[in-house]
Amino acid sequence: MEMGIRENLERVKERIARAAQSVGRDPGEILLVAVSKTVEPERILEAVEAGVTDLGENRVQEARAKIEQLGKVARWHLVGTLQRNKAKYAVRLFDMIQSVDSVPLVLELEKRAAKEGRTVPVLIEVKTSPEETKHGVAPEEVDELVDRILEAEHLVFKGLMTIAPFVEDPELARPSFCLLRNIKERLENRGVLVEHLSMGMSGDFEVAIQEGATMVRIGTAIFGSRNY
Residues that bind ligand PLP (CB under 6 A): 35, 37, 58, 79-80, 163, 201-203, 217-221
CB atoms within 10 A of CB 134: 17
- Taking the least distance from each CB to ligand PLP, the nearer of 194 and 218 is 218
Residue with smaller CB distance to ligand PLP, 7 or 185: 7
CB 77 → ligand PLP: shortest distance, Å? 9
Task: Compare residues 120 and 161 and give the one whose CB is closer to ligand PLP.
Answer: 161
Q: Report in angstroms how near the CB of residue 201 gets to ligand PLP at its nearest.
A: 4
Ranked by CB distance to ligand PLP, the top (closest) residue is 219
Q: Tell me whether residue 46 or residue 147 sits nearer to ligand PLP (CB atom).
A: 46
Distance between CA atoms of residues 205 and 216, nearest Å = 6
Q: Minimum CB separation from ligand PLP for residue 32, in Å?
A: 11
Do 109 and 149 form a contact (C-beta atoms < 8 A)? no
Nearest approach in angstroms of CB 224 to ligand PLP is: 9
Nearer to ligand PLP, 182 or 202 (CB): 202
Give the separation between CA 174 and CA 208, rounded to whole angstroms: 7
Write the DSSP assignment of 120-183 as a string of letters. Answer: EEEEEEB--S--TT--SB-GGGHHHHHHHHHH-TTEEEEEEE------SSGGGGHHHHHHHHHH
For residues 209 and 170, what is the distance between their CA atoms, to the nearest angstrom? Answer: 12
Triad 106, 107, 108: Cα angle to 5°: 95
Amino acid at 118: R
From the CB of 222, what's the least distance to ligand PLP, in Å? 8
